[in-house]
Amino acid sequence: MDRQLNLNRAETFSFINPWIRYFLFFFSFLFWVFSLLIIAIGVYAKVQKATDTVRDTFLIDPALILIVVGVVMFFITFCGCIGALRENIRLLKTFSLSLILVFLTQLAIAVLGFFYSDQTRDALGKFVKKAIVHYRDDLDLQNLMDYIQKEFKCCGWNNYTDWSWNLYFNCTQENPSTERCAVPYSCCTPVPGEVVINTMCGFGIQIQKYLEATKSIYPEGCAEKAVMWIESHLLLVGALALGMALPQIAGIVLSQILISQIQDEISSVL
């Protein structure tokens, strides 16, 4: 009787924890669906929104970046889904190794960005300069610049006179534009009780002295404001970085545990 009971226990016992297995499956499946959404957004942006202006402003086409990131993410999460569901060691090892490579790549980029902060700032400065130059050429780019200036309460990259880089806001005497020497309305300080936004509030600002300009706009450049924002929100920046790292670390740990359990299960059968 005891011998029969021990045999039944041996038949029903498994080294593989179903909680770990199915948690890894649903974890991978969630990000697999998310990867399809990223690919769809990238394809839409490539077909509908990609313009020569956007390509000239960004070093790499943002739509192409979304598609590449989505495809890589799709491949990694597919390996995780099928590997966990079918208990396939090769797919789980591919999933784990891919996550390790992605994590190390992100870590390397963060470290290089920290140690080469001046070069990073110069690269961002070039992007903002191109965005200012093409401000009126692309609506999405215009909305992006307006959002940045409103969010950080800044104007231009170094200061408000940077808007002379733009053809329409250029402050030279030869410029026939009605917006000559102006800055976008997103540079303006909000007026209490104002219901309708005054889009002409920045007209003639560039010819004003700094102290005079502070009465109606945010005269500081976005470069300094961005640095100040990061320094004052280090906890938030750290939380975002941790939020990106934790799912990757969790995927690596869970896949390694599941691989070990599958190997133990195979060894017990042999």
Residue 213: CB atoms within 10 A of its CB come to 22
The ranges of the chain with pLDDT < 70 are 1-13, 49-61, 270
Q: Is the dihedral of CA 218, 151, 109, 65 positive or negative?
A: negative
Q: Please report the pLDDT score of residue 137 as a whole number.
A: 84
pLDDT of residue 12: 58
Residue 166, number of CB atoms within 10 A of its CB: 23
Q: Cβ atoms within 10 A of the Cβ of 253, count?
A: 14
Short-list 227, 213, 224, 228, CA closest to 161: 213
pLDDT for 30 equals 93
pLDDT of residue 13: 60
Q: How many whole angstroms separate alpha carbon 138 and alpha carbon 43?
A: 19
**DSSP designation for 136:** T
- Residue 163 is predicted with a pLDDT of 96
CA 78/CA 160 separation, integer angstroms: 49
Angle between helices 62-86 and 234-269 (to 10 degrees): 30
pTM, two decimals, is 0.76
Identify the three-state secondary structure at position 63.
helix
Does residue 26 sit in helix, strand or coil?
helix
Q: What are φ and ψ of residue 93, in 5° steps?
A: -65, -40
